[in-house]
Chain A
Amino acid sequence: MTSLSVAHQPRSNAAAPATVEQRPLFGWLFALAVVCTVAAYARAIYFTPIEALQGASQKIYYVHVSAAMSAYLALGILAVLSIVYLWIRDERADRLAESAGEVGLLFLTVVLTSGPLWGKPIWGTWWTWDARLTLTLFLWFLTAGYLVMRGAIEDTAMRARYSAVLGILAALLIPFIHLSVYMFNTLHPKPILLKPDRPSMPNEMLVTFFAMWVAFTLLCLALIRARYHYAVDRDALRALESGGGDA
């Protein structure tokens, strides 16, 4: 019984007092991500041909889809680390899940705001309540709710446990969002790349897309890392303020 109750106490790794402040918030990964993002932007703007039917607005595809994939990645990390937290009750997993949730919300915001800017000239409307758009909006609200809930619960263990459950449930929406264009009659186009057969896109555009995808993936991971460093410092500060107690 004793070992069970000990196992369910969150492991605190908040303070590594001597080294925490010396670690840079944004490290080499962030610098690499910035260089790649600037290069991908330049390629998309200056070195990628304009699509014949949609005109220049088709270029929104590169940021829109790359941001969607980064959001899925971040929320996938959130779900995996939430499971890890519920399993071993390690605060580092909770902190990393929280960081992935915030970065996931950022990329979801990019998706939900760049999409209408593409939809207006092509579909003739900013928004339509079809399955993919509506489910993505739900996911945005769930992720925002996850972060708001974290700020509202004082007790560390309870906050981590509740948010882990919500994080897993939010990430369960991702496969439904991806498959929604097959499951429902929708205005949103079917995947051009993430499908069983060859991508339906010329090579020049494909290279631009992959450049943007790599850049956004690196940026996503770098931002999660930076946000995690911030969370470590914040929890160390809380631990000090509460007299060395649980952060």
Chain B
Amino acid sequence: MMPQAGPPDTSAFYHIAYTWVALLLVGYVAILWVRGRRVRALLRGARERETRATRGT
């Protein structure tokens, strides 16, 4: 009697793909978060400078 052949072992590709996709998405979110924080810090500083300049005049 022939042994029943199961599905081929292609799990390495699937593990790499799921890990890679998760890394891409998390990486983008992290980069966007850093960019957002930096711009907000600069915006806050610029507003404070503007407020001081307005009070000074």
Could you list which residues of chain A lie within 8 angstroms of chain B, going by C-beta atoms?
17, 20-21, 25-26, 37, 41, 44-45, 50-60, 63-64, 67, 106, 109-110, 113-114, 117-118, 120-122, 219, 223, 226-227, 229-230, 233-234, 236-237, 240-241
**Candidates A20, A54, A63; contact of B43 at CB < 8 Å:** A20
Establish whether residues A227 and B17, one from each chain, have CB atoms under 8 Å apart when the complex forms.
Answer: no
The answer to whether A236 and B43 have CB atoms under 8 Å apart is yes
Q: Is the CB of A233 within 8 A of B40?
A: yes
Chain B residues near A122: list those with CB within 8 A. Answer: 10
Residue of A64, A110, A117 most packed against chain B (CB within 10 A): A117
Across-interface contacts of B43 in A (CB, < 8 A) = 20-21, 233, 236-237, 240
Partner of A25, one of B21, B22, B33, B50: B33
Residue of B nearest to A24 (CB): B36
Interface residue from B10, B20, B35, B42 paired with A54 (Cβ < 8 Å): B10
Please pick, from A17, A120, A230, the residue contacting B36 in the complex, using a CB distance under 8 A.
Answer: A230
B16 touches A (CB below 8 Å) = yes
Q: Is the interface of B mostly helix, strand, loop or mixed?
A: helix
Minimum distance in angstroms from A179 CB to a CB of chain B: 26
Which residues of chain A are within 8 angstroms of B11 by Cβ–Cβ distance? 55-57
Q: What 1/0 mask marks residues of chain B from 38 to 53 whose CB sits below 8 Å from any chain A CB? A: 0110111011001000
The one of A58, A106, A117 that contacts B16, using a Cβ cutoff of 8 Å: A117
A106 touching B25, Cβ below 8 Å? yes
Complex interface: chain A residues within 8 A of B9 (CB): 55-56
Q: Is the CB of B13 within 8 A of A121?
A: yes
Give complex CA distance A106, B32 in Å. Answer: 12
By a CB distance below 8 angstroms, the chain B residues around A233 are 36, 39-40, 43
Whether A57 touches B18, Cβ cut-off 8 Å, given contacts A229-B36, A230-B35, A237-B42, is no
Shortest C-beta distance, B41 to chain A (Å), equals 9
State which of A17, A50, A67, A241 has its C-beta within 8 Å of the C-beta of B21. Answer: A67
- How many angstroms from the CA of A179 to the CA of B1 in the assembled complex? 46
3 nearest A-B pairs in the assembled complex, by CB-CB distance: A57-B10, A55-B10, A56-B11
- With contacts A25-B32, A110-B24, A117-B13 known, is A241 near B46, CB below 8 A? yes
- Chain A residues near B7: list those with CB within 8 A: 50-56
B17 touching A118, Cβ below 8 Å? yes
Q: Cβ of B18: which chain A residues have Cβ within 8 Å of it?
A: 41, 44-45, 59-60, 63
Q: Is the CB of B36 within 8 A of A226?
A: yes
Residue of A55, A63, A219, A240 touching B17 (CB-CB under 8 A): A63
